[in-house]
Amino acid sequence: MSLNELLHKRQSVRKYLPQVVEKEKIMKILEAVHLAPSACNSQPWKIVIVDDPDLKHEVAKATYSKSVSFNKFVEEAPVIAVLVIEKARLITRIGGTIKNQEYPQYDIGIAAEHFCLKATELGLGTCILGWFDEKKIQHLLNIPSKRKIGLLITLGYAPEDYKLRRKIRKPIEQIYSFNAYS
């Protein structure tokens, strides 16, 4: 699959088959994340793969509530990847302070995209989540309280009839300019 085909095929999947994701495929995804660039090569992430059904159920429950129910589909996903933000290298932290930038936030975004693109290439669906009960998940997965969970990613097989949606984006002319902001 060409990169262009991959970019068009990758989408947020919110329905999953109750099919186990093979460890070999998970490892290939993790190898892709391992290649992701990061500020000063800090690689400020640790990914906790949650595939134990009981534990995954508890983590999934931490992504929705009675008042916020849009993440209930997470229960269907056979795997949840938890991207934990690790401490960046000293030079990255110094640069981030000077420039008032959170480089590890950018870095996990790049890592997450590597994760999702590789999963798509392998025939798997993903959905990146930013809404979750961080303290509950930290407790469930023994993540130190000094660490921040950046994102969760669901992973699994979408049903055959899961429709590839047409990507709705702003007109391309609205997202760029040359030589000056306009």
* Whole-number pLDDT of residue 105: 85
* Whole-number pLDDT of residue 161: 87
Decide which of 14 and 94 is more confident: 14
Reported as a single tens digit per residue, the pLDDT across 73-127 is 999 999 999 999 998 777 787 787 888 888 788 899 999 999 999 999 999 999 9
How many CB atoms lie under 10 A from the CB of residue 5?
A: 11
* Whole-number pLDDT of residue 167: 84
Residue 48: both structure tokens together: 């906790």
CB distance 152 to 82 below 8 Å:
yes
d(CA 137, CA 123): 28
* Whole-number pLDDT of residue 131: 94
**Per-residue pLDDT for 26 more than 90?**
yes
- Closest Cα to residue 104, out of 141, 138, 148, 142? 148
